[in-house]
Amino acid sequence: MKLNGIDIDDTFAEAFDMSATRIIVTALNDTWVMHAARSVTGFATSVIGCGVEAGIERTLAPAQTPDGRPGVAILLFAMSRDALAKHVEKRVGQCVLTTPSSAVFSGLDGEPIDLGRNIRYFGDGFQISKLIGERRFWRIPVMDGEFICEETTGRVKAVGGGNFLILSTSLEQALSASEAAITAMSKLGNVIMPFPGGIVRSGSKVGSKYPKLMASTNDAFCPTLRGVTNSQLSDEIRAVLEIVVNGLTAADIARAMRAGIEAICALGADAGVKRISAGNYGGKLGPHHFHLREIMT
């Protein structure tokens, strides 16, 4: 398959089951809500080393938030319910509670997991609860007033690890095309691209020559290893970048992948991208397979 002169490999991205939640963070103004959001989503690129994958899903106008202030929707993904609950609580306690003027609310219906249930003890007995309908909120005294935190947030089953590879004649062109893809994908809801700027250069494969490592460099797509490994690169390819996408459903991931690939192909082959491929491990990593040509047909 060719789209606007760019080859689409006959392969698939392989993804796996995860647990996810959405939280809504608000603050006095756009500046401080983004400070909180960036802090919450820091060091959250891969569960391999971070334990959780998180990203800013979208910004919210005051009319879209529970307290009528500027907000941000944040998605967090982990490999299990318990892992998700642990990391949500730590990140909210260390990154949102500490941010001046901030508040945090559940942004997703699902199985309840702790959000502010334990953070309330920071109030040292001065905290106050308020029940609105079936939702419980905690008012925790802090030095700039009160920190408002919903007691729980909803957890749902989700999918992580959707991906595609951008093969280009130069790093500059690969990065420019990847940025175009991220811009298109970021307009969609229910997905995040958890790596820095949504893009990762250190794509990995399962396993390593070193027994203690569960993942290592994807040597088949490393240009400098073309002559010493089973390379998947032609001579003209000088850089490969990967976009990884997590979604609340498999359909969300497929939709985001299509939007990203369409944005790259719209640039045309003259912009430097020659192929679009994907990372998979023979179907052994996860049950969700995103076949590129099916997605783009």
The domain limits of the chain are: 2-15+158-296, 19-155
Report how far residue 200's alpha carbon sits from residue 194's, in angstroms, rounded to the nearest whole number: 9
Q: Going by C-beta distance under 8 Å and a sequence separation of 6 or more, which residues neighbour residue 31?
A: none
Residue 92: band (very low, low, confident or very high) from pLDDT cuts 50, 70, 90: very high
Please determine whether the domains at 2-15+158-296 and 19-155 fall in the same fold group of CATH. yes
Strand partners, 74: 23, 56
Instruction: With a cut of 80, say whether residue 284 has pLDDT above it.
Output: no
pTM > 0.85: yes or no: yes
pLDDT at position 42: 97
Residue 286: the pLDDT is 87
Task: Answer yes or no: is pLDDT of 7 > 90.
Answer: yes
Q: How many CB atoms lie within 10 A of CB 156?
A: 15
pLDDT at 281: 80
Q: Which two tokens stand for residue 103?
A: 């508040």
* CATH number of this structure's domain 2-15+158-296: 3.30.70.520
Average pLDDT of the chain to the nearest whole number: 97
Q: Say whether pLDDT at 231 is over 80.
A: yes
Mean pLDDT of the region 30-53? 97
Q: What's the pLDDT band for 251 if we cut at 50, 70, 90?
A: very high
Q: Is the pLDDT of residue 280 over 90?
A: no
Query: How far apart (Å, rounded) are the C-alpha atoms in residues 97 and 110?
Result: 23
Over residues 150-179, the mean pLDDT reads 98
- Whether 278 has a pLDDT exceeding 90, the answer reads yes
Architecture of domain 19-155: 2-Layer Sandwich (3.30)
- Averaged pLDDT, 32-53: 97
> Is the confidence at residue 51, as pLDDT, over 90?
yes
- Cα–Cα dist 45/204, whole Å: 13
Say if residue 24's pLDDT is above 80. yes
Position 112 confidence tier, pLDDT thresholds 50, 70, 90 = very high
Residue 66 reports pLDDT greater than 80: yes
pLDDT at 63 over 90: yes
